[in-house]
């Protein structure tokens, strides 16, 4: 592969890299995407949020996704013991999409990458970024190994790092910092859903809560397979012995609701595990580069915010890059970092309050407060920038204070 010069180099062809490169290409910029693997490839992150539909639509990727007939996700079900909390995206505080999909990412990401290539973007698969040098004026020289392991260099005016778990620039530029989210790990896999019940029950995405720190997901796909995953503290995950198949199957015995359905379901591959998955960085952008998606920050899977942040940050940064390369001045701190952080902060509160138990108190308290539920539902749909929603603007206090009120009420009724 020969050395080359482009306007923008995008690292990674996941949802973040695809949305960024589609937008930049449509603005007439010369974009190159490098992707370490060949597609289809497995990646976790299968439950989407309505908000990401806005992003796919804006860059012209929605129709191809619609044609794939993925399982439609209209809400989310949370269960604890006998109490069920059902969120319905059509009954939420904010305007916006009231449905999205639950998707096997290998297929989903392949469709995105194919579409982006069809638009005319150059994607090199099995090309891996191994080194980056950035000059004072922001121009970078990136060393890439092609499929045969031969190095070549790409000079770019701007780099979008959408490398997800690869965390290319955080590693190479030393930008990692510890996450403020309590440490958890996960084991997950796909099964052939041989006992899937007919009708809605068989297709519902569900979060089954075992205790404050431990829960698992059930994400049925339209291809007849279902994703199953456990999340818990490291001690919990480590307390199970054997290979990941045995561990996942043993964990599943803890689910009264789902055990029968999945006990004979064949695993489609050896389940995977990720330890301490939460990630954070010291900065989201720098001279000549920006971090998007998981390469920037990852909180927790409990509210399925990963892909939506990946596409939100991709589109936002692509717009700013395009302005900057046309000679306009861009305020990256305000218009990228602060904007993205304000959304991340809302979700971070919900994740933290999930594991303190406060949010679980709100979800499973009966009778439900329907207004509160509509406002929380808008957050869970990914509309975390809507300042008319008190569950966005007062996220720091509101979950905690409502949970406190409920706890006091419960104590009062227990003592009568
Ligand atoms: P990715 O989709 O990871 O894509 C990055 C790409 O970059 C990859 O294809 C990779 O091969 C490539 N790459 C890496 N290194 C290099 C390199 N050196 N050179 C070239 N290319 C490179 N999110 C959700 O939205 N919903 C969920 O239900 C959900 N569940 C999750 C469950 C768990 C247990 C975990 C840990 C995460 C979950 N996530 C979920 C988060 C989700 O996985 C990510 O947020 C999402 O995949 C991020 O997309 P991305 O485009 O940033 O990165």
Residue 174's CB is within 10 A of a number of other CB atoms, namely 9
Any ligand 1 atom below 6 A from CB of 75: no
Q: Of 1, 9, 12, which is best to mutate to test ligand 1, by the most ligand atoms within 8 angstroms of its C-beta? A: 12
Q: What is the predicted ipTM?
A: 0.99
**Which atom of ligand 1 is nearest to 219's Cα?**
28
Any ligand 1 atom below 6 A from CB of 186: yes
Cα separations (Å) of 393 from 11, 95, 386, 413? 34, 16, 8, 32
Q: Of 10, 11, 14, which is best to mutate to test ligand 1, by the most ligand atoms within 8 angstroms of its C-beta? A: 14
Name the CATH architecture for the domain at 185-274. 2-Layer Sandwich (3.30)
pLDDT > 90? residue 1: no
Any ligand 1 atom below 6 A from CB of 37: yes
Q: pLDDT per residue over 131-167, tens digit each?
A: 999 999 999 999 999 999 999 999 999 999 999 999 9
Q: Is 261 helix (H, G, I), strand (E, B) or coil?
A: helix
Any ligand 1 atom below 6 A from CB of 55: no
Calculate the CA 292 to chain-centre distance: 11
Angle between helix axes 51-58 and 15-26 (nearest 10 degrees) is: 40
Average model confidence (pLDDT) across the chain: 96
Kindly state the tokens that stand for 358.
């406060």
Rounded CA gap, 123 and 18, in Å? 10
Going by alpha carbons, the residue nearest to atom 35 of ligand 1 is 301
Q: Can the peptide bond before residue 367 be classed as cis, meaning omega within 30 degrees of 0?
A: yes
pLDDT > 80? residue 25: yes
Q: Can the peptide bond before residue 40 be classed as cis, meaning omega within 30 degrees of 0?
A: yes
Which pLDDT value is given to residue 414?
A: 85
Q: Average pLDDT for residues 283-302, to the nearest whole number?
A: 95
Rounded CA gap, 319 and 164, in Å? 20
Any ligand 1 atom below 6 A from CB of 39: no
Which pLDDT value is given to residue 21?
A: 98
Which pLDDT value is given to residue 39?
A: 98
Closest CA to 129 of 176, 157, 171: 171
Rounded CA gap, 199 and 187, in Å? 28
What are the sequence ranges of the domains in the chain?
4-74+94-178+278-343, 185-274, 362-415
CA of 36 to the centre of ligand 1 (A): 13
Any ligand 1 atom below 6 A from CB of 113: no
Q: Tokens 């597609």, residue?
A: 39
Q: Which of the 8 DSSP states describes residue 393?
A: H
Q: Average pLDDT for residues 161-174, to the nearest whole number?
A: 97
Q: Average pLDDT for residues 361-368, to the nearest whole number?
A: 96
Q: pLDDT per residue over 329-343, tens digit each?
A: 999 999 999 999 999
| Residues paired with residue 229 on neighbouring β-strands, in sequence order | 188, 217
Closest CA to 318 of 7, 5, 4: 7
**Which atom of ligand 1 is nearest to 292's Cα?**
52
CA of 294 to the centre of ligand 1 (A): 6
CATH of 4-74+94-178+278-343, one of 3.40.50.450, 3.10.180.10, 3.50.50.60, 3.30.70.370: 3.50.50.60
Query: Please, which residues have CB within 8 angstroms of residue 17's CB and are 6 or more apart in sequence?
Result: 10, 11, 33, 35, 160, 162, 163, 292, 293, 314
Rounded CA gap, 235 and 243, in Å? 16
CA of 186 to the centre of ligand 1 (A): 15
* Measured torsion, CA atoms of residues 127, 133, 139, 145, in degrees rounded to the nearest 10: -10
């Amino acid at each position: 592969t020969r050395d080359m010069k482009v306007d923008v180099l995008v690292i990674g062809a996941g949802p973040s890299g695809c949305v960024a490169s589609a937008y930049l290409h449509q603005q007439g910029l010369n974009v190159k995407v490098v992707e370490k693997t060949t597609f289809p490839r497995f990646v976790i992150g299968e439950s989407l949020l309505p908000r990401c539909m806005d992003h796919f639509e804006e860059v012209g990727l929605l129709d191809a996704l619609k044609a794939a007939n993925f399982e439609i996700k209209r809400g989310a079900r949370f269960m604890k013991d006998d109490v069920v909390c059902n969120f319905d995206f059509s009954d939420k505080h904010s305007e916006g999409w009231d449905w999205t999909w639950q998707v096997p990412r290998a297929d989903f990401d392949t469709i995105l990458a194919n579409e982006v290539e069809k638009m005319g973007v150059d994607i090199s698969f099995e090309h891996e970024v191994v080194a980056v040098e950035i000059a004072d004026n922001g121009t970078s020289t990136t060393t890439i190994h092609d499929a045969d392991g031969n190095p070549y260099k790409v000079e770019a005016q701007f780099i979008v790092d959408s490398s997800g778990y690869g965390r290319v620039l955080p590693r190479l530029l030393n930008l990692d910092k510890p996450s403020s989210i309590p440490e958890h790990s996960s084991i997950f896999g796909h099964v052939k859903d041989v006992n899937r019940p007919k009708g809605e029950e068989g297709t519902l995405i569900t979060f089954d809560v075992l205790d404050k720190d431990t829960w698992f997901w059930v994400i049925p796909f339209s291809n007849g397979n279902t994703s199953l995953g456990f999340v818990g503290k490291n001690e919990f995950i480590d307390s199970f012995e054997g290979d990941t198949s045995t561990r996942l199957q043993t964990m599943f015995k803890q689910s009264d609701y789902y055990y029968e359905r999945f006990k004979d379901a064949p695993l489609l591959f050896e389940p995977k595990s990720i330890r301490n998955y939460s990630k954070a960085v010291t900065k989201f952008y720098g001279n000549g580069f920006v971090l998007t998606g998981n390469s920037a920050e990852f909180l927790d899977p409990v509210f399925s915010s990963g892909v939506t942040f990946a596409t939100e940050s991709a589109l936002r940064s692509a717009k700013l890059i395009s302005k900057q390369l046309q000679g306009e001045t861009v305020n990256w701190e305000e218009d990228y970092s602060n904007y993205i952080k304000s959304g991340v902060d809302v979700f971070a509160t919900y994740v933290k309050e999930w594991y303190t138990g406060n949010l679980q108190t709100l979800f499973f308290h009966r009778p439900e407060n329907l207004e509160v539920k509509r406002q929380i539902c808008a957050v869970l749909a990914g509309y975390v920038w809507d300042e008319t929603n008190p569950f966005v603007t007062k996220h720091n206090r509101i979950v905690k204070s409502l949970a406190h009120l409920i706890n006091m009420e419960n104590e009062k009724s227990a003592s009568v």
